[in-house]
Amino acid sequence: METINDFIANALPYTEWPMFVLLICGGLFLVAYSKFLPYRYFGHAIAITAGKYDDKNAKGDVSSFQALSAAVAATVGLGNISGVAIAIHDGGPGVIFWIWMTALIGMCIKFYSCSLSIMFRSTDDKGKVQGGPMYYITKGLGPKAKPLAIFFALCGLFGFLGVFTANQFTETFMSVIEPSETLFAMSDESWKWTVGVLLAVITSFVIFGGLTKIAKVASAIVPFMVAVYLVAVVAVMVMNASQIIPSLKMIFTEAWNFNTVVTGGFWGLVIIGVRRAMFSNEAGLGSAPMYHGQSKTDNAVKEGLVAMLGPFIDTILVCTFTAIVIILSGAYLEDQSGIVMTLNAFERTLGSYGDDLLMVIVSAFALSTLFTYSYYGVKCLTFLTNAKIGKYYNWYFVIMIIFAAVASLELVKNLIDLSYALMVIPNMIAVLLLAPKVNAAAKDYFKKLKHDGA
């Protein structure tokens, strides 16, 4: 495993700058090019998500709300709980500011990419509606661009494994349960294998049921668990109200610390923020368009507006609350990373029940993320082969859950960072080139909306 980790770690620096330029510079271009349209129609996006503008006769397999829930299930999870802790460990409290900036830009990127997922939908060899980067690359840019779509799908076979989630769930279990003190006296390594196998079995019951089952489970679990998590962190902030302003102040001041000790200095700090924000809300990655491409709608702009809410819920809200709890608790001052730091923060602020509560929340988030991630991988393999072979990705996915449970955090983190950085390249190239088509559709949509309203 050390050899694999060294190879991935050495490859990462060569992918960071293309990813940074396309995600941030490309995203800023889209914000200006849209004339801030996604932000101006934030309230309208909420109304669409609530079902006010649903068309029951539209093509697709799931509602816009279910698509958003499934996409958010893949992002509101351990990326928000342990991913934020990893970011603070690697870059200090100031990294949160750069996560915010990337998320705000990401809202606009998701508006464009998920609009394209409806605009350029296709069907697989079984006649099922399909959407996502592979399809808007090939249909939108033409056959000559197919190598870009193939490259994206190949990277997705690794990027959409649930390795980070399985790894951090196992760490949570080991930290909270302390299995070595239970009746089942096994070594920590044996416990990790056991947890990995159980997690794989539970995941199998849902993912082999296909998209509809995944969407139903995700839309049932996610809203409730997000609410529970938010109640918990709000309770912590209320009990430590005097520390909220100093924590936020620290985030802003450290964000501009040009003498930071982070490897790579100030720009290293910014890149850590971009990495973790992309892992948190997946804007620019191209995963969310795969779910939103299945929505029961024939209007691309409506779906883009719904998708835009994802980064706001996931990063601006959930990540911020997690960061404040970690900072005000002082847990970030200890040499801990990942879920262990967040567990420590909750235990300090909520007492002995804090880590137990987080364990329950993490369990739900971990399972919902694993359910949704598997579908992304199935779509990638289906595009590369056919629908029949694509389903076999689930077996590979389940096996890798067990591997991730015993792997090191460093290996898992590097694998995800490399895969994501590579996937951003073809996806953002396509989104930027096809942006004029989304603008034209948006102009028509809002003109009609204004006319109908009048």
Chain segment 168-211, per-residue pLDDT in tens: 788 877 877 666 555 456 777 888 888 889 888 888 877 777 66
* Cβ neighbours around 4 below 10 Å, total: 12
Residue of 165, 339, 279 lying closest to 271 (CA atoms): 279
CA dist 431 → 70, 110, 281, 297 (Å): 22, 10, 17, 20
Cα separation, 48 vs 354, in Å, equals 36
SS3 state at 54 = coil
Q: Single out the residue of 252, 314, 284, 409 nearest to residue 80, CA to CA.
A: 314
Contact (Cβ atoms closer than 8 angstroms) between residue 133 and residue 286: yes
- Adjacent-strand bridge partners of 122: 130
Q: What is the pLDDT of residue 321?
A: 87
Q: Which two tokens stand for residue 168?
A: 């951090």
Per-residue pLDDT at 454: 42
Question: Which residues of the chain are modeled with pLDDT < 70?
Answer: 1-2, 53-79, 177-185, 210-219, 221-222, 259-268, 276, 278-281, 337, 453-454
Q: What local confidence, expressed as pLDDT, does residue 349 receive?
A: 86
Amino acid at 432: L
Type and span of the H or E element at 148: helix 146-159
Q: Given CA atoms 281, 284, 285, 291 in this order, what sign does their dihedral have?
A: positive
